[in-house]
Amino acid sequence: MTGLGDRILGLCLLVLAVAYGWVAQQWPEPFGGTEGVGPETFPTMLAVVLVVGSLYLMIKPDADTQWPVGKTALELVVSIIVLVVYALLLEPLGFVISTTLAVGTLSWRMGAPAKSAFAIGLLSAVVVFGLFNYGLSLSLPTGLLGGF
Amino acid sequence: METLGFLMDGFAVALTPYNLMFALFGAFVGTLIGCLPGLGPANGVAILIPLAFTLGLPPETAMILLTSVYAGAMYGGRISSILLNIPGDEPAMMTCLDGYPMAKKGRAADALAISAIASFAGSLIGTLGLIMLAPVLARFALTFGPAEYFALFLLAFATLGGITGKNPMKTVIAAALGIMISTVGIDISTGTQRYTGGVLELYEGIDFILAIVGLFAISELLFFVEARMGKGRSKVNMGKLTLTFKEIVSTIPTQLRGGVLGFIAGVLPGAGASLGSFISYTLEKSVLGKKGRFGEGDIRGVVAPEAGNNGAASGALVPMLTLGVPGSGTTAVLLAMLISLNITPGPLMFTQNADIVWGVIAALLIGNVLLLILNIPMIGVFVRLLSVPPMYLLPIVTMVAFVGIYSISHSTFDLYFMILFGVGGYVLRKLEIPLVPIILGLLLGPEMEKNLGHALILSDGDWTTLWSSPLSIGLWLVAGLGLVLPTLVGPILRRRMRNAIKEGPVSD
């Protein structure tokens, strides 16, 4: 079926819109009552707009785009994991180590030779760390290199 | 001349050594951002916002920095158009048509020089237009009531897809999503918790800066990973500068026409810089007719679109500064900076924050001179940086985005949120849902709700107040047109633009 992507998106948006609109109806009336506009008025309008939009998407979808498959999809997942792990390790490992690893891995996966990728990672990490901590006196986490 | 007096005050703000330094820095970084593939102007400005914050810059300095970056990015876009035949940003697309053939003939240096001059002329015309038009429009905008503002915001969303936009319904969906995200948090007028799920970090709402950086920077990284364009592309040789004074003089009429047309396209809702450069290129082609050799490296074919897109860039600041309604992605990001500096954009800014508005305008003028000076002798530096392959560049840019977001709140919670926005942005971009309306929704959502509330309170809950004044009816009509026209005129215009681009490579 053509336009599958848009149809699925439309369905997801429809669910989102209905849930969003339904939640808005559950809020208690604010103290003192409302004059014209309550907290739920605007969200309800938005929910209606999004319902119409999502229905339109499902009825008249655009042609499908090419989605990444196989190895490319894997590379994408790896990149996202690298980003999440970077955020996870930023504080415990410290800025320099985690940045070297994250920038290095990303560059390497994007096609750079591993050695130069990690070298660039280390270099950029040290430069940015120096710039922030000593130049701008904004502290980035030092982590394992705490004494440094 | 009241305006002139304000402008002089603006110069006094912009010419302090501190601000001048940031203008220079911004112009340099902006050119870099514009010319590097994979780092569009909106993206680049977005990444710099957290940095401007953490540096604790005063508001006028922060705005001067970002406006210089914006102006610089428009200059930089042409460099990769001419040397690589890849536009650095969308409006620079038309510059490829004659710029690249010129470069192939060994006149790359000339093309870069003349386009720098054309950018300067276009920007200058645009900024002069801004100086004349903005105060008038701001005074007019003072007559707007909440109902008019509500209609105006709708108009902004409706025309955002632009007249060349593909599917207006997707713009509507994107805008709705953006506004929905902006409703998360505690409702300002009643104190009701909305969509927070009891998560403490969500009480104050979702910070639009991290949403913007995530949507642009992270999704861009993912796109590059997917396209496997890490290696970059080969470029042509620079050649020697052989531009003669006579040649520069001969393009002056082209520069004037391009700049004025670009400015008009920039001010009008729904047109924008891409259309500005397209119109000025086609006009130039039809004015000169057979006398020109367009598509084969005609020097005026480089001048026209560059003057056009830089004129449009300044023109696009008019609605942003006077009405608080940006017409493009990059001006939306500039608006984000204003809002986070606690400055209410709109007509009142001209009276309450006159130093900032006029400081920014003066900085734009100074920035242009700086850019012209930077761009002619230092072009070699930018060209060398152009050969930094994206596989090193994009991870570093992503890292800078991480650092910026982290340094605002020192919480990793924000980083996860940013990644989430990045992945969402990637999926939406794949499905051709535009990201700019989402960002505009995030920014304007709270204002829209506030104005709706005020309008309804003033009218005792009578909804017809939203379309009861002639002005608001007009705004509703234009908004309607903005949604309908692209489906009628859009395909024709898009075909023309495509044809114009196809002609280029075929003829060489």
What's the DSSP call for residue B97? H
- pLDDT tens-digit map of B109-162: 888 888 889 999 999 999 999 999 988 888 888 888 889 889 988 888 887 766
Q: Which residues of B touch A35 (CB under 8 A)?
A: 456-457, 460-461
| A34, part of any domain | yes
Comparing A145 with B303, which gets the higher pLDDT?
B303
- Are residues A105 and A137 both part of a single domain? yes
What's the DSSP call for residue B465? G
Cβ proximity of B76 and B32 under 8 Å:
yes
Averaged over B177-198, what is the pLDDT?
Answer: 84
The nearest CA of chain A is from the CA of B26 a distance in Å of 17
Which of B172, B407, B422 is opposite residue A53, by nearest beta carbon?
B172
The pTM score is 0.85
Which of B170, B391, B423 is opposite residue A112, by nearest beta carbon?
B391
Q: What is the ipTM of this complex?
A: 0.90
Which of A65, A117, A136 is opposite residue B431, by nearest beta carbon?
A65
Cβ count near B231 (within 10 Å): 12
Contact check, Cβ <8 Å, B392/A88: no
Contact check, Cβ <8 Å, B412/A87: yes
Which of A53, A95, A138 is opposite residue B176, by nearest beta carbon?
A53
Averaged over A76-93, what is the pLDDT?
Answer: 92
- The C-alpha angle A79, B405, B90, rounded to 5 degrees, equals 70
Which of A39, A46, A132 is opposite residue B192, by nearest beta carbon?
A39
Contact check, Cβ <8 Å, B448/A42: yes
The residues, any chain, with a CB within 8 Å of residue B276's CB and separated by 6 or more, are B91, B261, B262, B263, B264, B265, B266, B308, B309, B311, B312, B315
Q: Which residues of A touch B452 (CB under 8 A)?
A: 37, 41-42
The nearest CA of chain A is from the CA of B357 a distance in Å of 27
Q: In 3D, which of B439, B209, B176, B437 has the Cα closest to residue A20?
A: B176
- Are residues A93 and A138 both part of a single domain? yes
- Are residues A127 and A89 both part of a single domain? yes
Mean pLDDT, chain B, integer: 83
Contact check, Cβ <8 Å, A36/B460: yes
Size of interface A-B (CB pairs under 8 A): 162
Contact check, Cβ <8 Å, B226/A72: yes
Among the residue ranges A105-109, B163-167, B194-198, the one predicted with the least confidence is B163-167
- Are residues A54 and A74 both part of a single domain? no
Contact check, Cβ <8 Å, B396/A83: no
- Are residues A44 and A111 both part of a single domain? no
- Are residues A96 and A32 both part of a single domain? no
- Are residues A86 and A22 both part of a single domain? no
* Residue B9 burial (10 A CB sphere; 0-12, 13-18, 19+): middle
CA closest to B166 among chain A residues: A62
Calculate the alpha carbon distances from B39 to B46, B87, B274, B410, B485 in Å.
10, 11, 17, 25, 31
- Residue B37, pLDDT above cutoff 70: no
Percent of chain B with pLDDT over 70: 92
Contact check, Cβ <8 Å, A46/B453: no
Q: Which residues of A touch B167 (CB under 8 A)?
A: 62
Q: Match 């761009």 to its residue by tokens.
A: B375
Instruction: Label residue A148 by pLDDT band (50, 70, 90).
Output: very low
Give the pLDDT score at B88: 65
| A115, part of any domain | yes
Give the pLDDT score at B1: 61
Comparing A58 with B378, which gets the higher pLDDT?
A58
Contact check, Cβ <8 Å, A35/B456: yes
Q: What are phi and psi of A77, to 5 degrees?
A: -60, -45
- Are residues A77 and A49 both part of a single domain? no
- The C-alpha angle B352, B356, B361, rounded to 5 degrees, equals 125
Averaged over B381-391, what is the pLDDT?
Answer: 78
Chain B contact for A102, CB < 8 A? yes
Chain B contact for A76, CB < 8 A? yes
Q: Which residues of A touch B222 (CB under 8 A)?
A: 76, 79-80
Cβ count near A16 (within 10 Å): 17
Which of B166, B187, B431 is opposite residue A6, by nearest beta carbon?
B431
- Are residues A74 and A55 both part of a single domain? no
Q: Which residues of A touch B187 (CB under 8 A)?
A: 39
3-state secondary structure B228-246: CCCCCCCCCCCCCCCCCHH
Instruction: Label residue B507 by pLDDT band (50, 70, 90).
Output: very low
CA closest to B177 among chain A residues: A50
Contact check, Cβ <8 Å, B432/A62: yes
- Are residues A86 and A30 both part of a single domain? no
- Are residues A27 and A92 both part of a single domain? no
Comparing A30 with B139, which gets the higher pLDDT?
B139
Give the pLDDT score at B506: 36
| A133, part of any domain | yes
**Whole-angstrom distance, CA of residue B435 vs CA of residue B325:** 16
Selected for mutation to probe chain B from A71, A72, A79, A82 (highest B CB count within 10 Å) is A79
How many domains, in total, are found in chain A?
2
| A24, part of any domain | yes
Give the pLDDT score at B505: 42
- Residue A136, pLDDT above cutoff 80: no
Give contacts of A 7-66 with B, CB under 8 A. 9, 13, 20, 23-24, 27-28, 30, 34-39, 41-43, 46, 49-50, 53-54, 56-57, 62, 65
| A65, part of any domain | no
Which structural domain, as residue segments, surrounds residue A93? 70-145
- Are residues A140 and A101 both part of a single domain? yes
Give the pLDDT score at B232: 54
Cβ proximity of B57 and B67 under 8 Å:
no
Which of B188-202, B355-369, B481-495 is predicted most confidently?
B355-369
Selected for mutation to probe chain A from B25, B53, B181, B392 (highest A CB count within 10 Å) is B392
